[in-house]
Amino acid sequence: MKLTLKIWRQKDSKSKGDFSTYELESVSPDMSFLEMLDILNEKLISQNIDPVAFDHDCREGICGSCGVYINGRAHGPKRGITACQLHMRSFKDGDTIWVEPWRAKPFPVLKDLVVDRSPLDRIMQSGGFISARTGSAPDANAVLIDHDTAELAMDAAACIGCGACVAACKNASAMLFVSAKVSHFALLPQGHPEREARVLNMVAQMDKEGFGACTNTGACEAECPKSISITNIARLNREYLKASFK
Amino acid sequence: MRWITVFLNSSIGKKIIVSFTGIFLCSFLVVHLSGNFLLFRNDAGEAFEVYSHFMSTNGIIRFLEIGLALGFILHIFNTLRLTLENKKARPVPYAVYKPSENSTLTSRSMFYSGLLVLAFLIIHLNTFFVTHRVIGTDVTMYESVVESFKSPVYSWFYIFAMLLLGLHLNHGFQSAFQTLGMNHKKYTPLIKFLGLLFSIVVPAGFATFPVYFLFFHQ
């Protein structure tokens, strides 16, 4: 495959960035999107050009590191996958592909396609944890949880914190992320001791970081690589209402 | 009392106020529409005049009117705050952005459909409320209605505004329940269906008035 790549290049967070155009030939349709970027970078290095910086780690869709806006969509044109799980067979020979970093005020661009996603970490630090006693491991069946609830909690816990919800939302809202974390803990008995404080603190931190608010467009749900449902956002609102008025 | 200000200034708090007032305003639409159907009685506006007189003189109605104004103000004020914050959250736009792949146009254009409905509301209030209740006139409310709808410009503008109201309600109705935390696998499909029905029936109901007076009224 022969491709034209329009990639956002930015030296650092203080510099002004712009798109650079690269031509790439003999791209295999079986390559992942990140492997295609690797090939491009090898070519750039051989030409003494600074390679394109992009985040990546596990390359199997579970770490949440890779996250770029590809042709106007978070993680590219396919649903329910990360950029590393996107294959070049999803594109056609001769295509022009636009690659941009996540765009949100709380996610400043550090270099090229790499953004600072530490606001999500600070939201987690504000309440995304449980208090567990130390010592020997508790018996696996000591706390009974029905199957459906356990499944709902697991669905929420599938969030890998990649930030695609923020990137895709027209308001750059992080509510799908926060709602997944709040739901994951609120659904399970282990999360109950800090239930109210958690939702109040996490929402306060989310607002402080400068994310927008949800307008229920459902873009986040559609672009989430883990297909996390916006029913979690309704649960977040419920938890927040309850905690505020208690 | 600090919790109240924290709640009202939080993103979710503001959203909840917008949802709550939105549902309240929906109930107002139903009342307003039902009353207006008196225009269709073939009595030269007699029943409509009695109704209109009652609405403008009854103490309880006048008191509730303050609540209605407050509902509009809170709905608009919080929407403005949220929209400004939402715009600020993405200072650098995408070069290529395809929101139609992941969301509906009505859900993305709530601010604009709302803004146009507001523009309609101001003109509408000026035509009827301000003329009759603030300035005062010898013309009856029924005569005003007939007179206004005889103008094709006003009537078509009215119909266009109802179309936008329908688009606004189409997303707004079901979205309000989602924001209030009411999402349930049994009831959400029902709420969505009712929202769709409401967003068609209510604006269409209002649109029957200009259509009637423009084309069928003798």
Give residue B19's pLDDT: 98
Mean pLDDT, chain B, integer: 95
Residue pair A211/A203 in contact by the 8 Å Cβ criterion: no
Give residue A143's pLDDT: 87
Tokens of A178: 């926060």
Question: In the structure, what pLDDT confidence band is assigned to residue B103 with cuts at 50, 70 and 90?
Answer: very high
Closest-CA distance, A44 to chain B, in angstroms, reads 23
Closest-CA distance, A139 to chain B, in angstroms, reads 33
Contact between chains at B11 and A213 (C-beta distance less than 8 A): yes
pLDDT(A170) > 80: yes
Give residue A134's pLDDT: 83
Contact between chains at A218 and B102 (C-beta distance less than 8 A): yes
Contact between chains at A203 and B14 (C-beta distance less than 8 A): no
Give residue B154's pLDDT: 94
Residue pair A223/A162 in contact by the 8 Å Cβ criterion: no
- Bridge-based pairing of strands A96-100 and A73-74 is unpaired
Give residue B112's pLDDT: 96
Contact between chains at A237 and B11 (C-beta distance less than 8 A): no
Mutate to test the interface with A, among B19, B92, B102 (most CBs of A within 10 A): B102
Contact between chains at A217 and B82 (C-beta distance less than 8 A): no
pLDDT(A32) > 80: yes
Question: In the structure, what pLDDT confidence band is assigned to residue A29 with cuts at 50, 70 and 90?
Answer: very high
Mutate to test the interface with B, among A217, A220, A227, A230 (most CBs of B within 10 A): A217
The mean pLDDT value for B184-209 works out to: 97
Radius of gyration, alpha carbons of chain A: 20
The mean pLDDT value for A117-127 works out to: 98
Domains and CATH numbers, chain A: 3-110 (3.10.20.30), 118-245 (1.10.1060.10)
The mean pLDDT value for B10-31 works out to: 97
Nearest CB among A171, A239, A240 relative to B86 is that of: A171
Nearest CB among B14, B90, B93 relative to A213 is that of: B14
Q: Give the separation between CA B87 and CA A173, rounded to whole angstroms.
A: 11
Nearest CB among B88, B92, B107 relative to A215 is that of: B107
Q: Who's near B49: CB < 8 A, 6+ residues apart?
A: B140, B141, B142
Give residue A135's pLDDT: 85
Give residue B134's pLDDT: 85
Q: Give the separation between CA A177 and CA B108, rounded to whole angstroms.
A: 20
Nearest CB among B12, B104, B110 relative to A237 is that of: B12
Closest-CA distance, A142 to chain B, in angstroms, reads 29
Contact between chains at A72 and B103 (C-beta distance less than 8 A): no
Residue pair A102/A69 in contact by the 8 Å Cβ criterion: yes
- Does B78 contact chain A (CB < 8 Å)? no
Mutate to test the interface with A, among B8, B97, B108 (most CBs of A within 10 A): B97
Nearest CB among B15, B90, B175 relative to A103 is that of: B90
Give residue A197's pLDDT: 97
Question: In the structure, what pLDDT confidence band is assigned to residue B15 with cuts at 50, 70 and 90?
Answer: very high
Tell me which of B107-116, B136-145, B159-168 is least confident: B136-145
Tens digit of each residue's pLDDT (9 = 90 or more) over A142-168: 889 999 999 999 999 999 999 999 999
Question: In the structure, what pLDDT confidence band is assigned to residue B54 with cuts at 50, 70 and 90?
Answer: very high
Q: Give the separation between CA A193 and CA A131, rounded to whole angstroms.
A: 8
Domain B2-216 has CATH 1.20.1300: yes
CB pairs under 8 A between A and B: 138
Mutate to test the interface with A, among B75, B80, B92 (most CBs of A within 10 A): B92
Q: Is this complex's ipTM strictly greater than 0.90?
A: yes
pLDDT(B28) > 90: yes
Closest-CA distance, A140 to chain B, in angstroms, reads 30
Nearest CB among B98, B108, B179 relative to A217 is that of: B108
Contact residues on chain A for B104, CB-CB shorter than 8 A: 217-218
Nearest CB among A69, A71, A212 relative to B86 is that of: A212
The mean pLDDT value for B91-114 works out to: 96
Share of chain B above pLDDT 70, in %: 100
Give residue A16's pLDDT: 94
Give residue A137's pLDDT: 83
Tens digit of each residue's pLDDT (9 = 90 or more) over A72-93: 999 999 999 999 999 999 999 9
Domain boundaries, chain B: 2-216
Contact between chains at B90 and A172 (C-beta distance less than 8 A): yes
Nearest CB among B96, B110, B181 relative to A215 is that of: B110
Give residue B67's pLDDT: 96
Distances in Å between the Cα of B28 and the Cα atoms of A35, A37, A233, B69, B72 are 58, 57, 28, 11, 11
Distances in Å between the Cα of B79 and the Cα atoms of A215, B19, B85, B112, B169 are 10, 10, 10, 11, 15
What residues does A9 pair with on adjacent strands? A18
Give residue A81's pLDDT: 97
Mutate to test the interface with A, among B96, B110, B112, B192 (most CBs of A within 10 A): B96
Which comes out higher in pLDDT, residue B108 or A132?
B108
pLDDT(B218) > 80: no
Q: Who's near B118: CB < 8 A, 6+ residues apart?
A: B76
Question: In the structure, what pLDDT confidence band is assigned to residue B82 with cuts at 50, 70 and 90?
Answer: very high
pLDDT(B135) > 90: no
Contact between chains at A206 and B11 (C-beta distance less than 8 A): yes
Contact between chains at A213 and B94 (C-beta distance less than 8 A): no
Contact between chains at A244 and B89 (C-beta distance less than 8 A): no
Q: Give the separation between CA B179 and CA A229, rounded to whole angstroms.
A: 14
Contact between chains at B102 and A106 (C-beta distance less than 8 A): no
Which comes out higher in pLDDT, residue B45 or A206?
A206
pLDDT(B150) > 80: yes
Contact between chains at A19 and B16 (C-beta distance less than 8 A): no
Mean pLDDT, chain A, integer: 96
Tens digit of each residue's pLDDT (9 = 90 or more) over A33-57: 999 999 999 999 999 999 999 999 9
